[in-house]
Structure 1
């Protein structure tokens, strides 16, 4: 028999989708979460969000009687970064930092494992995707057996946040950002990078170590700057603050 699953990043929109399914007694056989990894031991999730996932969200979902499946790709960010390009102008170089807006990490380390897992499920399996009613551009990308309960119940991003708050399922990352992405994401805002620099120096050093590797296809972390440029910026900000105080 076909199943109904929810692809869940444990962010506000996907968790609100699960809540709506439970509230309205909609079919939901399984919640599927894919954890992108930096390397074999370090998660790609912002640490505060990972603690929330395993300490709050998954236990809540299990208590609600839902099956939880955790997926991880065989590939990690670091493995993708150090992969040798086999053809084209960058042949022989490290693939290095992913392109903004065309992130091969999302494709290879998140979407691919989910798609592979979907192939193991019965034909006709339905998939809930956490897209809010006010994300029209992204809703247009839904295909085949994919659907949005947030659209069906006219639930905007703000509504999804409020719903998660009501059930104690709002990740603490929303205290300092409005998005849910990996801590090494090239689309990270300056404020997110500053928080990583301030609160997770061990992860910051991991990125600086990658920046220092030779023979990379690109030195840029995002469209404009190297990761080491951000390190220098924050170091200088701290130095100026110390001088003024």
Structure 2
């Protein structure tokens, strides 16, 4: 009987990439790295554009040069599909589903978790998954499934900062860390204001798409996150720009 299959779950953030680098450095078994890309619509990635370019132009080619097989998964459903879908029962029947609910994100469920679960069903039952959790993330480490999920970062005593430095040294640190400390879709309701400001400043085409969704009538909710409409955030940034222009003119 041969050894079990070993896969790495990757988002191409620092922790998951450091996991792959450690596996190669220490000759840990690694059969493939699995990435699930959430899509905004059929053509536009849900990844922040800088991160998507890094994934496809830098990270995947470098890992493949190292002999790592990359599996890319995508759901048939997109953010726009879920947003524009209609409620089929209950008091809000026929209304547009609208923005996902913080903490119960249908996008995470349908566009990421389910494709991964479908893929996992094709794997041998004894498959071992490497999870990018650093040794200083104690609570997350305690939730790993014994024997089925392994943290190489913890095994080799790597903190999150160590993972950052390893990726940086290897030329595999995503440019998103210049303006955020977390990964996530550019339309995520949990996005912090600096992340949204980056989208507003550098990707006006994507910003305009979110404003167009906000304008759709008959939605179950008008709120993008727990407290604000997307149009409210847009108004804040426009006001900030106006005030900055006045200061420069003074």
Q: Which residue of 2 aligns with 1:231?
A: 234
| Structure 2: distance between partners of 1:236 and 1:120 | 52
In structure 1, the gaps of 5 or more residues are none
CA RMSD of aligned residues (A): 1.2
Aligned residue in 2 for 1:128:
130
Equivalent position of 1:89 in the other structure: 91
Structure 2 CA distance, aligned partners of 1:219 and 1:13?
Answer: 35
2-structure distance, mates of 1:119, 1:244: 59
Quote the Cα distance in structure 2 between the aligned partners of 1:204 and 1:99. 20
| Aligned-pair CA distance for 1:24 | 1.1
Map of 1:78 onto structure 2: 80
Q: Which moved more, 1:205-214 or 1:102-111?
A: 102-111
Work out the CA distance in 1 between the residues paired with 2:42 and 2:202.
22
Give the C-alpha shift of residue 146 in structure 1: 1.6
| Worse-superposed segment, 219-228 or 79-88 | 79-88
Q: Which residue of 2 aligns with 1:116?
A: 118
Task: Quote the Cα distance in structure 2 between the aligned partners of 1:128 and 1:82.
Answer: 36
Report the CA distance between 1:73 and its aligned residue.
0.5
- Unpaired runs of 5+ in structure 2? none
Give how far 1:240 is off.
Answer: 1.1
State the 1:91 CA deviation.
Answer: 2.1
Match of 2:161 among 130, 140, 158: 158
Query: Residues 139 and 99 from structure 1, CA distance in 2 versus in 1: closer, same or farther, beyond 3 angstroms?
Result: farther
CA offset digits 1:26-54 (Å, max 9, x no partner):
11000111110000000000000001000
Q: TM-score, normalised by structure 2?
A: 0.95
Query: How does 1:213-224 map onto structure 2 within 5 Å?
Result: 213-224=216-227
Counterparts of 1:88 and 1:135 in 2: how far apart (Å)?
41
Deviation larger for 169-178 or 107-116:
107-116
Distance in 2 of aligned mates of 1:165 and 1:38 = 29
Q: CA deviation at 1:103?
A: 1.6
What whole-Å deviation, never above 9, does each CA across 1:3-41 have from its counterpart, x for those lacking one?
110010000000001011111111100011111000000
Distance 2:173 2:90 in 1: 44
TM-score, normalising length: structure 1: 0.97
